[in-house]
Structure 1
Amino acid sequence: MDYDFIRDISGQVSVTFSMGHEALGHWFNEEVKGDLALLDQVEDNLRRLAGGQDSWQCIGHEYTLWTDGEEVIVRANDIAFVTDELEEGLSYYDEESLSLCGAEDFLQVVTQYRDFCRHTW
C-alpha cells in the first residue's frame, strides 16, 4: 500500500493511495480533513478492540470506517446498489469505494498523517 501526503496552497492536507486503497485516501480527505481528535478516537478504538471479538464503526458523511481491531475497512456510504438491474456482463465500478487494510498498517498511516499535519513548512 503506497500513499503520498500533500499540502495545498491553503494549507489543507490530503493523501492519495495506490490502486485498491483509494477509499482510504477518500476517508482521510473527506472525513478527517485534519481533525486529529477523530484520529485519536479511531486509534483508541483500534487498540481497544485488538484481539477481541467486538467491532466498531465510524459513520461519516461520505465514508464509513469499520474495524474489528485486526483489519480496517473503509466503504463509501452510497455503495449499496441493486445489481439485478444491470445488463448481462456489466458490473458497477466500485474499486475506489471500498478498501481493506490491516490495523497495524492503518495505524502507521494515522501516525504519519498526524506528523505531516503538525509539520510547519
Structure 2
Amino acid sequence: MGIFRSVYFAGHHLSKYRDGVCDILAPLWVGGVFTMEFEFIKNTLLGEYTVRCNMEHQIVGRWLQEEIGQDLAKLKHVLTLIDKAEQSPAQEFLWTGREISLLVQGDEITVQENALAYESEHELETDFALYDSESIAACGREDFVALLTQWQSFIQNQGRF
C-alpha cells in the first residue's frame, strides 16, 4: 500500500502512481496562459490527504488542505459561493478562513493569506515581495472549480478514482 498519488495537468486526470514514483510537475502552456496543475496524495497508512499545486498556486493547495481538508460541507459552501459569484459577476464574495481566505470576483478567484491582507494596509519593504508572491495567487473560476470537484471526488472515493 503506502502512498497513492493521482496527478492532474490542466484539470485532466492523467495517471496514478504508487510508492513515491511521480513525474515532475511543470507549468503547462494552454491557449496562451499557464494553467493550474495539481496532485492529490493519500497516505494509506496514516489516512492523510495532501494536495500539491504548481509553484504559482502553492497557496491554493495550502488553502484546500488546511482550510477545507476533508470537510465536504465547507467544500460545498465554497462551491455555492462560486455559483453565486457567477450569477452576480459585479459583486465580490469573500470566504474567510483561519489563515487563508478566498475572494471570488466574477470569473477570477484570489486566494491569499489573511496576514497579507492586513500587511497590505501598511507599507511593506520590497524585501518581502517574494514572500508575498507565495502568499497570494489568482486563477480562473473554471480551473478552481475543477480542482475543488476533483478533490471532492478524491476524498469521497477514499483516495481512488
Q: Determine whether 1:100 maps to 2:138.
A: yes
Q: How does 1:39-118 map to 2 (within 5 A)?
A: 39-52=75-88, 53-79=90-116, 80=119, 82-83=122-123, 86=125, 90-92=126-128, 93-118=131-156
Contact 1:67 1:73 survives alignment (8 Å): yes
Quote the sequence identity (%): 30
SS class of match (2:127): coil
Candidates 4, 10, 22, aligned match of 2:58: 22
Contact 1:55 1:66 survives alignment (8 Å): yes
Which one scores higher on RCO, CA 8 angstroms, separation ≥ 6?
1
| Number of equivalent positions | 117
Structure 2 unmatched ranges of 5 or more? 1-35
- In terms of fraction of residues, the more strand-rich structure is 2
Question: Structure 1 residues 41, 69: CA separation in 2 closer, same or farther (over 3 Å shift)?
Answer: farther
SS class of match (1:7): strand
The amino acid across from 2:65 in the alignment is N
Cα distance in structure 1, aligned partners of 2:157 and 2:68: 17
CA displacement 1:48-82 (0-9 Å, x = unmatched): 22152111111111100110231111000111154
TM-score norm. by structure 2 comes to 0.67
CA displacement 1:69-104 (0-9 Å, x = unmatched): 3111100011115445x4xxx420222210100111
Shift of 1:47: 1.0
Cα distance in structure 2, aligned partners of 1:45 and 1:83: 31
Residue aligning to 2:49: 13
TM-score norm. by structure 1 comes to 0.87
- TM superposition outliers: structure 1 runs of 4+ over 4 Å: none
CA displacement 1:13-39 (0-9 Å, x = unmatched): 110110111110010111001111111
Contact 1:5 1:16 survives alignment (8 Å): yes
